[in-house]
Chain A
Amino acid sequence: MNSYEIRVQGRLDQLWSDWFDGLTITYDAEDNTVLRGPLVDEAALHGVLIKVRDLALPLLAVNRVEAEGLEQERQNSGETRLRDTHLR
């Protein structure tokens, strides 16, 4: 499983974390939003990117990053919650 870092313009509420498949939301020095975390594969990454698109968030960067430490972070964030299987 790879981890990714998606940078979008503007400060996005923490509320959206669940919407973005549990990726963590942090902010950089310019107050832009960084979505970060492990995604199961490229298809999952594209799914997230489509959500970025659908919210009309200006996309600044997408990077693949080392998974170090992220797995732990994810497990702490209530991973076991039932996830939607989206039909639409």
Chain B
Amino acid sequence: MRKGLIAVAAVAAALALVGVARASTDQEYLYWSSSTNTDWMGVRSSISNPAGSQRAISSPDFFISSVYATNGDTGTNARALQQGVLYIDGERLDPNGNCTEGVSSPAMFYFEETDDHGSYTCYYEGGASTTDTHVQQVKKTSGNWFAYMDGNKITNYSSFNWTDCGGNACGLYAFGEEGSFACGLWQAKFSGSGNTDWQQYNGTLWSTIHNYSGPPISYGWTPNLNSFPDGLWTFTYSVCQ
């Protein structure tokens, strides 16, 4: 009887733990948003791939470091474009279907993703080397949004645009994500000395973003913004490490 009560209590404790996790999020980010039209036509930042000692993954799971721009809506009204680096482990548990098809697992690769009213499309952009640093960028050009890496246009989407927010972005993000509240380690590294800060584009000039919101309190994530905006600043996911 006593053992049974202990078991029930343990289950209740575990469910409470799960409840906390459910109410939390697996994303960590800084963002700049507006409820009115803006002149924000792009966002970019240097993003450094984590070294081998700065990442660990348990299948099935994924991690992301990226920048993205949105129309300011969510759910079925959302339109968003993101560009960054993705680390994943899990056979055919690939995000959005098969984005990692044909690459080894675990795999780290560059990717672009569109959110088109809740329809998600992922584009594989090639394998990623450890510790490389690249300027990841999404920018509106001639009315459409495109992704770039180090200034190279990733023309995976030919007509991605929206009318909300005057056709510009109402949300700009520097973003880290973990897929399933699992054990793992990932350091999302932005900016850095001599690198490109987290910046917004007004159609003519890029300028460093200072007016950010966040980061939220997210399960497993620890932000380090001591060197924001022009030093290296990080979001680190670390669970069971």
Q: Do A and B come from one complex?
A: no
